[in-house]
Structure formats: C-alpha cells, structure tokens
Amino acid sequence: GPRVGILALQGDFREHARVLSQLGARVDLVRRPAELAAVDGLVIPGGESSVMDKLARMFGLAEPLREAIAGGLPVYGTCAGLIMLADTVLDGIAGQQSLGGLDVAVRRNAFGSQNQSFETDIDVPVLGEPPVHAVFIRGPVVESVGESATALARLEDGRVVAVEQGNLLGTSFHPEITGEHRFHSYFLDKVTATLAA
C-alpha cells in the first residue's frame, strides 16, 4: 500500500495510525524533514494547533511542510490539523502561524462553552450513506471558503466543517476516534491517484 506519514509532534497521531494501518497503508510517524520527504501522503492529527505550530518551527519542519503542500503532497488535517492547513486562522494565540494551503479561514474553538465538545450526524455527499457520526472536541469552524476550496459538509445551521482543495482535505471533527474510516479511505484514494499520476 501507499506510504502515509502522520505528523507526530503532538496530538492524537496514534489513532490515525491505527485507522490507516487497518486500511492497508504503510504508516510512518513524521518528526523530521527526512521522514517527511519519504512519504506519499501526510495526516496532521488533532491536538493543539498553537503547540503543533511551535513544535513544527522548532523541529525545522514548518518550511519543508509548506513546500511539500505547495508541491502537491496529499495532506489530511483533522481539527488542529485543519487549522494548520488553513490559509487564515481566526482567534489564534499571539504569533500563531499555520502552514496554509487550504483557501479557507477557520476560527479556533468556535463552539461556545456550552458546546465545546459534542457529537452529531452529518451528511457528507462525497462519502454517500450513511451520514458521518462526527465528534467535535473544541473544534474549529470554517468561517469562509475561498474560491479554490470546496465545502464537503455542513452542520444543520449551515456552518462548514469539512473542506477539500485538490490534494488537501480537512475536517473540524475526528473520524479517527469513532471507527469512521471513510474520510481516511477517501484520502488514501488521493494518495494512490497522486502516485499513479
């Protein structure tokens, strides 16, 4: 199977590793530029984006990651990972940077204190039936979707919680912790298609 890296600086990278292995991918944890250079696709996990940003810069990974994204590497970000992929981050901590790539603005911790963490079923047309059971844990909302990006899923109130742009995929929620494998499968299809191209 394809070789998929998981950015393992911080966050729930083990859960992604489990899902991707179950789907037949070769999984490598990525903490150094050389490890990044060896993979065919990358997952950026949930966690805390401000910490992930600092660690990525400290480990000399931020620029290689930006170059890889610009070069077409397939990347899937969940929650904090989506924040890392967003061109614009609202309500970041002072000095927080993202890697960018997705033409969207996301707002961190966008669900009020009553609703910081919740679960709901959402329709994701590209994944078909049944709806996706989505777990949100202090997740971001995609506040605006630019011309280059596409919304893949919305909450009932219309707020966007999954987006795609070419080889980039992002969700505000965490399919890696619910036994939902279709987003990872959809992502692996991008990795395979890129390898074949």
Residue 138 within binding range of ligand GLN, rule CB under 6 A: yes
CA–CA gap between residue 170 and residue 76 (Å, rounded): 6
Q: Which residue in the set 39, 44, 79, 191 belongs to the binding site for ligand GLN (CB under 6 A)?
A: 79
Residue 44 within binding range of ligand GLN, rule CB under 6 A: no
Residue 54 within binding range of ligand GLN, rule CB under 6 A: no
Q: 153 Cβ partners below 8 Å, 6+ apart?
A: 122, 123, 124, 132, 134, 160, 161, 162, 171
The catalytic residue among 15, 79, 164, 180 is 79
Among residues 164 and 176, whose Cβ is nearest to ligand GLN?
176
Residue 137 within binding range of ligand GLN, rule CB under 6 A: yes
Q: By CB under 6 A, which span of 23-31, 46-54, 66-74, 99-107 interacts with ligand GLN?
A: 46-54
Residue 80 within binding range of ligand GLN, rule CB under 6 A: yes
Among residues 108 and 190, whose Cβ is nearest to ligand GLN?
108
Among residues 62 and 80, whose Cβ is nearest to ligand GLN?
80
CA–CA gap between residue 109 and residue 107 (Å, rounded): 7
Q: What separation in angstroms does the CA of 101 have from each of 15, 82, 88, 94, 130? A: 24, 10, 10, 21, 30
Among residues 2 and 65, whose Cβ is nearest to ligand GLN?
65
CA dihedral 132, 133, 139, 142 (to 10 degrees): 20
User: Among this protein's residues, is 181 annotated catalytic?
Assistant: no
Q: Which residues of 18-40 are buried (b: 16+ CB within 10 A; e: fewer)?
A: ebbeebebebbebbebebbeebb
Whether residue 138 is annotated as binding a ligand: the answer is yes
Whether residue 108 is annotated as binding a ligand: the answer is yes
Q: Name residue 90's beta-bridge partners.
A: 107
User: Among this protein's residues, is 133 annotated catalytic?
Assistant: no
Q: Which residue in the set 31, 54, 108, 184 belongs to the binding site for ligand GLN (CB under 6 A)?
A: 108
User: Among this protein's residues, is 174 annotated catalytic?
Assistant: yes
Backbone angles phi, psi at 116, to 5 degrees: -55, -40
Q: Which positions touch ligand GLN (CB under 6 A)?
A: 46-49, 79-80, 83, 108-109, 137-139
Residue numbering of the annotated binding site: 47-49, 108, 137-138
Residue numbers annotated as active site: 79, 174, 176
